[in-house]
A and B are shown apart, each in its own frame.
Chain A
Amino acid sequence: EPEVTQTPSHQVTQMGQEVILRCVPISNHLYFYWYRQILGQKVEFLVSFYNNEISEKSEIFDDQFSVERPDGSNFTLKIRSTKLEDSAMYFCASSSRQGEQPQHFGDGTRLSIL
Chain B
Amino acid sequence: QKEVEQNSGPLSVPEGAIASLNCTYSDRGSQSFFWYRQYSGKSPELIMFIYSNGDKEDGRFTAQLNKASQYVSLLIRDSQPSDSATYLCAVNNWRGATNKLIFGTGTLLAVQP
Contacts and interface: CB of A to CB of B under 8 A. Distances in A.
Interface in A58-114: 58, 89, 91, 95, 98-100, 102-108
Given A42-B104, A98-B94, A91 B99 contact: no
B49 interface: yes
A102 B99 contact: no
B80 interface: no
Nearest to A48: B99
Nearest to B90: A43
Nearest to A44: B103
Interface residues of A, number: 26
Contact of A103 (B42, B101, B102): B101
A55 B102 CA distance: 16
Interface string B74-113: 0000000000000010101111001111111110000000
B31 A105 contact: no
A107 B42 contact: yes
Interface residues of B, number: 26
B104 A99 contact: no
Nearest to B95: A99
B44 A43 contact: yes
B97 to A, nearest CB: 8
Contacts of A18: none
13 contacts: A31-B99, A41-B105, A43-B44, A43-B90, A45-B100, A45-B101, A50-B99, A56-B98, A89-B43, A91-B44, A99-B99, A105-B43, A105-B46
Interface of B: 31-32, 34, 36, 42-46, 49, 51, 88, 90, 92-95, 98-106
Please provide the 7 A-B residue pairs with the shortest distance between their CB atoms, ordered closest to farther. Answer: A99-B94, A45-B100, A43-B103, A105-B43, A108-B43, A42-B105, A48-B99
